[in-house]
Amino acid sequence: MKKKMIALLAGALMTAAMAGNAMAYFEQDHLIRVVYDKTVMTEVATDLGKVKDIITAAKSGPVTLGAGADSYLGGTLATSALSNLNVAYYAVNVANKDLWLTSKTDTQSIATTQWGTTSSMISNTLGIYAPSATSTVTLAMTNPSSYWNKLDGNGTRVGKFNTTYTVANGEMNLAALATGGEVKQNLFFWDNPSLTSGAAGAKQVTIKTLSTGGTQVASNVPVPPALFLMGSGLLGLVGIRRKKQ
């Protein structure tokens, strides 16, 4: 009986430990994709994972995320026309004062010192998505803590991440995907000490929203010319060796 109780207790402790280590979604430092359709007032938010891990992985080649069960084309948006869908990506770390936002341009500056307001609003969206305990959440855009309300200003600041951008560069419409085009954005990073008016973001990765419902992330770092030369040299040596053989 005693041994049985010990075994049951050990099992309970193991279960508790595993639960504690379970994947948590919509946390600080996680890259969030939001796709919304204003005609049905619905947004679909997907946690793509830790933004720094994604950036690191992309250095080895393009990474596809948020597909399959996490596709933005599932659920309510399954019947939406691509021309009715808009997409944006963002991440925040309030403690470290780090901010990542997408832009459809190759360079992006911020309008004014918006760290406090913008980080708080992003945290609000994470707070409304997280309780679902799933990586993809469907939410009514009328919710006071939705992306649409907090960062698009209920339609008054679309694509500006509150008032962080002066121009609506933060979002892109997905209409181009219907005709074989692409929807490509750049993810920029700001560290709080440089969050002053006109501060330029550091480009991190290129993000493509795919017609299949997923997201492809690729590095902006080009392969150094020296590596191309080294590769060409190695291929030349292989060719010479084969001729000799």
pLDDT at 224: 53
Whether 29 and 82 have beta carbons less than 8 Å apart is answered as no
Q: Is the pLDDT of residue 7 over 90?
A: no
Residue type, 226: A
Average pLDDT of 92-111?
Answer: 93
pLDDT in tens, 170-208: 999 999 999 999 999 999 999 875 566 678 889 999 999
Amino acid, res. 97: K
Please spell the DSSP secondary structure of 111-138, one letter per residue. Answer: SS--HHHHHHHHHHHHHHHGGG-SSEEE
Q: What is the pLDDT of residue 230?
A: 43
Task: Name the amino acid, one letter, at 54.
Answer: I
Taking only the tens place, the pLDDT of each residue in 190-199 is 987 556 667 8
State the chain's mean pLDDT as an integer: 83
Let me know how many helices (H) and strands (E) the chain has, helices first: 5, 10
Q: What is the distance between the alpha carbons of residues 161 and 158, in angstroms, rounded to a whole number?
A: 7
Contact yes or no for 84/34 (Cβ under 8 A)? no
CA 120: distance to chain centroid? 18
- What pTM value is reported for the model? 0.81
